[in-house]
Chain A
């Protein structure tokens, strides 16, 4: 099975797997995120168009919010 790593968790890779798909699979619903794929920053407007390859290392950095 081909996988990617998201925040050090192994996730099954899918064809045409973009950032929005990854966020959905991980149930990452928080909106204040910084996303990097293999060290490269992906801006929010690029989430749909950025497709990841098998073996990619994805970092989804959740920032801090709330009282």
Chain B
């Protein structure tokens, strides 16, 4: 069926017209509310309180979701929302990485708030269309698309029965359908998911942008926490934003922003090849580095390196990625790390034989779909990356849960009879890709796997009598979210950087492994607590603004080493403060920057508490994140662990069995983590149970009545 025939099958459910308006100092000062249960569409004002306390992006998402839901709202209740917001800096084109959207929803994996940061053009186009956030509530009766037309000032809900569901086809169909001409395809952006998103809890949202050079639609993912599953549960096939060109943010001081941008672009041009090689390899440059430091998860985080690393070395990815073409996921991003493999011929699944473009793989995908499953085959990783994207599932969660299944299989907890014939031995790429196809078809063992590790653990214990304690030790999830791809065993600070997060173990709050394990810069609990205060707060700020984190520290000024705190990249931090002030006309400094984040961070913690989570017990980690669970793991690094027994615990390992040594080390490491919790909570202004104190909230100016109502009884 061609595009016109598909469009003719659309049935208009609601047509809403509005005044386009202008952006003023980074804000449009209104949000867009769409309810798919009753087809209500309306504008809502952005209040001064929202701007003062919540800033934008993730902050707006949290505020709107709090107001829209009850403490017991479930992810698949109609009142759950998907909120997309670009933040006040989002949409500028003079500084790299300023096109991000923050997506917020209640997660099917965690039952708490999830936030996910994503590139692609949708967020800026939403703002150009006149809205600081899109808030979608309710459930449609049958598949719909929502079209936000920023050229004509309309928002439409249409039944769309004929279009594909898988993203690589759907995004192309809708780009063709809604672009005014071939030359205007880059002014259409599509948000979609895929078939596996609707049959699992690990769905992603794909945000598109049109690559004019390649003449292809590209996809970037809001990957964590299953928001794509929420999208499909609401029977949303896609959300489309149409822009009428690039609109200015009407900032206060454009010259200041340009000056920062020009200086940054010079760094990229002159230094990137000797630093992170983001323009040639993207984040995949990290693969062999993580292997060298024993940090690349291998065989379900048992180990941190592997003899076959050369098969997935960054030089392999460099040779696979098309070089010399534009790879920025928003206009003006000279870091251009959104690498892609062109003309990849698929070997499996419904698109077998098709030659496709594959966005990535990035480091996390190589670790998740590759090494952590014991798979060191670059073409398999590319194929699995493609299918994760088009089926709309998270490469990180899929990788970590498949690695968990492989360990369960090898430990005899599950068998071929249970998996329907799939042999989940480490390294079995055929089983891994078939699991993914099953997930997309909504059949077989793929349906169980798609529930995520936390629910699988309970299922295996109940149905197959598995030892729940062992499953809890090896199942790499916290709060219900699967771990991202770094081995944290030798960095106590990173254990906190993962398990003390608000949304679950994603490294976007803090990555402290080098600082802690290699540099030994933060030896005391107080030092670690300071790092686990500063970095999560600083990095939260990107999510309030519509910014990408990568330009902060994946290239650094030539004189960065000469600064007092090179790990913080002070010149780039100052760039961000300058840009925020130049956009909004406000006058913050680096202290207020952190306080802006603290307000939102504490609100999110309180949101979790309101929902029955967010306490100390919810910050517990699986022991695999801290130390060796099995004798096999211990013996693989026995020199290291014996030394830890001797030097840290003052226990002579000689004459002890491996099981005894595992137990002694475990007791020590678990005690260390409890002490870390105490130190971090104290630094963050929380009680020993992880609840923000009233005094701290007052100090931050975040003592809103609805927040105090939650925390006061828990002081």
Question: Could you tell me which A residues sit within 8 Å of B by CB distance?
Answer: 7-8, 27-32, 34, 41, 43, 59-67
- A7–B566 touching, CB < 8 Å: no
Q: How far is the CA of A41 from the CA of B512 in the complex (A)?
A: 22
Return chain A residues, CB-CB under 8 Å to B507.
66-67
Q: List 20 A-B contacts (CB under 8 A).
A: A7-B518, A27-B293, A29-B288, A30-B293, A31-B274, A32-B556, A41-B562, A60-B518, A62-B519, A63-B560, A63-B567, A64-B511, A64-B512, A65-B276, A65-B286, A66-B363, A66-B554, A67-B283, A67-B362, A67-B508
A66 vs chain B, min Cβ distance (A): 5
Q: How far is the CA of A63 from the CA of B276 in the complex (A)?
A: 11
Q: How far is the CA of A30 from the CA of B293 in the complex (A)?
A: 9
B553 vs chain A, min Cβ distance (A): 5
Return chain B residues, CB-CB under 8 Å to A63.
514, 553, 556, 560, 566-567, 569
**Is B181 located at the chain interface by the 8 A CB criterion?**
no
Category for how many chain B residues contact A? 20 to 34
Contact of A62 among B275, B518, B549, B554 (CB under 8 A): B518
Return chain B residues, CB-CB under 8 Å to A27.
292-293
Known: A31-B276, A61-B521. 19 other contacts (CB 8 A): A27-B292, A27-B293, A29-B289, A30-B293, A32-B275, A32-B276, A34-B561, A41-B562, A61-B566, A61-B567, A62-B519, A63-B566, A63-B567, A64-B515, A64-B553, A64-B567, A65-B276, A67-B363, A67-B364
- B511–A66 touching, CB < 8 Å: yes
- A67–B561 touching, CB < 8 Å: no
**Is B550 located at the chain interface by the 8 A CB criterion?**
yes
Q: How far is the CA of A7 from the CA of B517 in the complex (A)?
A: 10
- B519–A61 touching, CB < 8 Å: yes
Return chain B residues, CB-CB under 8 Å to A62.
514-515, 518-519
Instruction: Tell me the dominant secondary structure on chain A's binding face.
Output: loop
**Is B355 located at the chain interface by the 8 A CB criterion?**
no
Q: How far is the CA of A63 from the CA of B286 in the complex (A)?
A: 13
Return chain B residues, CB-CB under 8 Å to A41.
561-562
Q: A32-B276, A32-B556 are in contact. Are A66 and B283 (CB under 8 A)?
A: yes
Q: Which residue of B lies closest to A62 (CB)?
A: B514
- A30–B362 touching, CB < 8 Å: no
**Is B520 located at the chain interface by the 8 A CB criterion?**
yes
Q: Which residue of B lies closest to A36 (CB)?
A: B561
- B276–A8 touching, CB < 8 Å: no
Q: How far is the CA of A51 from the CA of B554 in the complex (A)?
A: 29
Q: How far is the CA of A57 from the CA of B445 in the complex (A)?
A: 56
Q: Which residue of B lies closest to A29 (CB)?
A: B292
Return chain A residues, CB-CB under 8 Å to B511.
64, 66
Contact of B519 among A7, A31, A66 (CB under 8 A): A7
Q: How far is the CA of A17 from the CA of B471 in the complex (A)?
A: 48
Q: Which residue of A lies closest to B364 (CB)?
A: A67
Return chain B residues, CB-CB under 8 Å to A67.
283, 362-364, 507-508, 549-550
A30 vs chain B, min Cβ distance (A): 5
Q: A29-B292, A61-B521, A64-B511 are in contact. Are A34 and B364 (CB under 8 A)?
A: no
8 Å CB interface, B471-525 against A: 507-508, 511-512, 514-515, 518-521
Return chain B residues, CB-CB under 8 Å to A60.
518-519
Return chain A residues, CB-CB under 8 Å to B519.
7, 59-62
B677 vs chain A, min Cβ distance (A): 23
B568 vs chain A, min Cβ distance (A): 9
A4 vs chain B, min Cβ distance (A): 15
Q: Which residue of A lies closest to B521 (CB)?
A: A61
Q: How far is the CA of A5 from the CA of B483 in the complex (A)?
A: 34
Q: Which residue of A lies closest to B294 (CB)?
A: A27
Q: How far is the CA of A4 from the CA of B134 in the complex (A)?
A: 58
Q: How far is the CA of A12 from the CA of B162 in the complex (A)?
A: 70
Q: How far is the CA of A38 from the CA of B97 in the complex (A)?
A: 38
Return chain A residues, CB-CB under 8 Å to B293.
27, 30
B132 vs chain A, min Cβ distance (A): 26
A58 vs chain B, min Cβ distance (A): 12
Q: Which residue of B lies closest to A67 (CB)?
A: B283
A60 vs chain B, min Cβ distance (A): 7
Return chain B residues, CB-CB under 8 Å to A28.
518
- A66–B286 touching, CB < 8 Å: yes
Q: How far is the CA of A64 from the CA of B491 in the complex (A)?
A: 14
- A30–B521 touching, CB < 8 Å: no
- A65–B566 touching, CB < 8 Å: no
Across the A-B interface, the 6 shortest Cβ-Cβ residue pairs? A62-B514, A34-B561, A29-B292, A8-B520, A34-B566, A62-B518
